[in-house]
Chains A and B, each alone.
Chain A
Amino acid sequence: MDEALLERGTRKLVAVNGRVRPGERVVVVTDDTMVKMAERIARGATEAQAEVVTCIMPSRARDGEEPPLPVARAMKEAQVIFSPVALSITHTRAMRAALDAGARAILMTAYTDEILSSPALLETDFEAQSAVCRRLGDAFTAGESVRLTSPRGTDLRFSIAGRDTNVLTNIPDPGQLAPVPDIEVNVVPVEGTAQGRVIADASVPYLGIGVLREPVVCTVGNGFITRIEGGDQARVIESALRSYDDPNCFNVAELGVGLNPNARLTGRMLDDEGVLGTIHLGIGTNYTLGGNIVAPMHYDLLMWQPTIEVDGKVVQRDRDILV
């Protein structure tokens, strides 16, 4: 791995995405499997003259598990949070409380040297993409109903009336989070309204699944996934969801739109969810995105070649944003 590229990636995360300023309180949250990455980020932020605190917790058992209370309290004091962790702490109350207290969060779940030196991070003009991001976000915020289709047979409808949009520009303002380099816009369907079918054919960057070998077909009724069909990978998802014995695991939680033109599908969350020309359907918790449902997990299913209509008007066709 080219050390110079890694240094460039670190500096970009700190200066462009985190906009870390001298004297700011930066908290790096990590687990004991990612201490090297955390040290790299901490060094970068220290070079930017921030006051950097690193919290190392034992590895979490699963994505979305709350960090220990002392970590949550430290996060709440942060102006900027970086979270190089093996398993996600994005959808936790601790993160919500830190954002509510004004933190800007750079999410680095399952970060690797490959991501840190990837074109998606190094080559992307995050400022320019922020404008695209906001335009699409505005279209969702103003809209009431969404229809999602794909050449492969996806056809899903749901209401977004009264829902705010999460615009993940990757340059967060206070109270916002950014899973860099996953530039995305997402919106939470009104609970109970999603109907139809989603055929995921790109990836599921959770549960060790990664890039899909064969499509995962989800039937959706009254806001919940009622059936999951496909091959081995589909069965892994289904049995994981059933293992919690909680119907909220099947909630249709999110429509996310990838907006990073340099991102490539790899099977890793932060690469995949930003890929321009894909959408992801989030399932499980939507509480952290602005909804009302709490589940013990949140996974995403990705599909290629989306066409998205808002109130009957096409806002995206494949890689083209039409607003």
Chain B
Amino acid sequence: MKVPPLQAKKPPKGQAMRRGAEVLVQVCAGVRPDEDVVIVTDQERLPIANAVEEAARAANARTVIVISPPRGIDNEEPARPVASAMKAAAVVFMPVTHALSHTRATREAIAAGARVISMSAFTERQMQEGGLFADFLSRRPLCDGIAGRLSRAHEVRVTNRAGTDLTLSVEGRAGNSHACIVDGPGFTAVPNIEANTSPVEGTTAGVLVVDGSIPYYGIGPVNAPVRFEIANGFVQSIEGGEQATFLRDLLAEQDDKWVYNVAQFAIGLNPVCREFTGEMLNDEGVNGTIHMGIGTSANLGGNVQAKTHFDAVIRDPSVWFDGIPIIRDGAILVTQ
């Protein structure tokens, strides 16, 4: 007979992720009894999905885990049965390896009334520590406030010491407040508290020098700056080290001119996200950074549906809305 060793053990995975799962279910989504909750996942992230499912079941929701077949690239449409399941849900959690945020499926689920929580490329670490445990409620007024300023603004300018100098028109575009809390039909990614908008197509011009992270396609924190030349709303060239070459080739392979569309301007506002870890939704949330999204813009108020969407994060930016300083060298200057 084998005797199990008597030693303190780490709690089992599910247990360790429970607190994070409760934040997602109770705070972020506000799951109510008898709601249909769909957790879209894949084989790799099934343990995270199981933790979220348990928390949702504990909240007396009707839960379903949907294991989605592998996708080739971030923000490719999911399989039709997945899209249809999402559309029938009151709440959708998406702990998936490849992002589904910028897909028609997500847009249609929201249009049908769903509250969608994106958890792209989530790690078990993110379920246990870091940005997920920020005080979302107290950060919400700032996020809402900056989104409101974006709605009213005409032009945004961004610079940083690495050489970024971009201008873009946001005239007539609504700002989106993704404060990690959805209390009506809508979308947020977690834990990247962010205020964002989609620049008017064709207006973004200048240079974006990414010295932070490109948390997509396995790239992560950049080891040499990646320089994007942008004109007429499209990326014209991508220069830098190996990572730049990899990204340039990957986008060329898509054979879709819209993958170069400047889709998104966003400000990261999570005070607990301080370092770039390569985890997508951590890096996009790092407080006082901005990121530019490239590709699909249709889920942010733009008009473009491309084959993919990725984000590139820069450090310590200075940002002006219609000439009014909003961020200076990474320090947020407004309180709401």
Contact = CB atoms under 8 A, between A and B. Distances in A.
A70 B66 contact: yes
Contacts of A57: 63-65
Interface in A51-67: 51-58
Given A51-B69, A56-B67, A70-B66, A25 B79 contact: yes
B36 interface: yes
Contacts of B86: 70
4 cross-chain pairs, A with B, having the tightest CB-CB distances, nearest first: A74-B81, A70-B85, A54-B67, A73-B84
Interface string B83-127: 111111100000000000000000000000000000000000000
Given A25-B79, A70-B85, A72-B88, A55 B66 contact: yes
B65 A56 contact: yes
A293 interface: no
A46 B69 contact: yes
Main secondary structure of the interface of B (DSSP, over half): mixed
Interface residues of A, number: 23
A69 B88 contact: yes
30 contacts: A25-B80, A25-B81, A51-B69, A51-B79, A52-B69, A53-B68, A54-B66, A54-B67, A56-B66, A56-B67, A57-B63, A57-B64, A57-B65, A68-B36, A68-B62, A68-B64, A70-B38, A70-B66, A70-B84, A70-B89, A71-B64, A72-B88, A73-B81, A73-B85, A74-B81, A74-B84, A75-B81, A77-B81, A77-B83, A78-B81
A69 B89 CA distance: 8
B82 interface: yes
Contact of A53 (B36, B63, B81, B87): B81
A53 B67 CA distance: 6
Interface string A64-94: 0000111111111110000000000000000
Nearest to A56: B65
B173 interface: no
Interface residues of B, number: 22
A108 interface: no
A42 interface: yes
A57 B56 CA distance: 12
A178 B63 CA distance: 27
B57 interface: yes
A229 B227 CA distance: 84
- Report which residue of B38, B62, B67, B68 has the largest number of chain A beta carbons within 10 angstroms of its beta carbon: B67
A241 interface: no
Contacts of B66: 53-56, 70, 74
B61 to A, nearest CB: 10
A27 interface: yes
Given A25-B81, A57-B63, A77-B80, 18 more contacts: A25-B79, A52-B69, A53-B81, A54-B66, A55-B65, A56-B64, A56-B67, A68-B62, A69-B88, A70-B66, A70-B86, A70-B88, A72-B88, A73-B81, A73-B85, A74-B82, A74-B85, A77-B83
A70 B36 contact: yes
Given A58-B57, A71-B85, A53 B79 contact: yes
A51 B85 CA distance: 15
A76 B84 contact: yes
- Report which residue of A46, A51, A57 has the largest number of chain B beta carbons within 10 angstroms of its beta carbon: A51
Contacts of B85: 53, 55, 70-71, 73-74
A70 B93 CA distance: 13
A294 to B, nearest CB: 22
Contacts of A76: 84
B168 to A, nearest CB: 38
Nearest to B67: A54
A71 B87 CA distance: 11
A55 B79 CA distance: 13
A199 B64 CA distance: 42
A42 B67 contact: yes
Contact of A70 (B64, B67, B68, B69): B64
Nearest to B87: A73
Interface in B41-70: 57, 62-69
Contacts of B38: 70
B69 A53 contact: yes
B45 to A, nearest CB: 13
Contacts of A74: 66, 81-82, 84-85
Contacts of A77: 79-81, 83-84
A75 B36 CA distance: 16
Nearest to B82: A53
Interface string A200-226: 000000000000000000000000000
Contacts of A69: 36, 88
A103 B88 CA distance: 19
Contacts of A68: 36, 62-64
A49 B8 CA distance: 45
- Report which residue of A58, A74, A77 has the largest number of chain B beta carbons within 10 angstroms of its beta carbon: A74
B80 A58 contact: no
Interface string B191-233: 0000000000000000000000000000000000000000000
A42 B69 CA distance: 10
B315 to A, nearest CB: 40
- Report which residue of A70, A71, A72, A76 has the largest number of chain B beta carbons within 10 angstroms of its beta carbon: A70
A75 B85 CA distance: 9
A51 B66 CA distance: 13
B79 A73 contact: no
Nearest to B66: A55
Nearest to A43: B43
A46 B86 CA distance: 22
A57 B87 CA distance: 17
B329 to A, nearest CB: 47
Interface string B2-14: 0000000000000
Contacts of A70: 36, 38, 64, 66, 84-86, 88-89
B208 to A, nearest CB: 36
A74 B81 CA distance: 4
A74 to B, nearest CB: 4
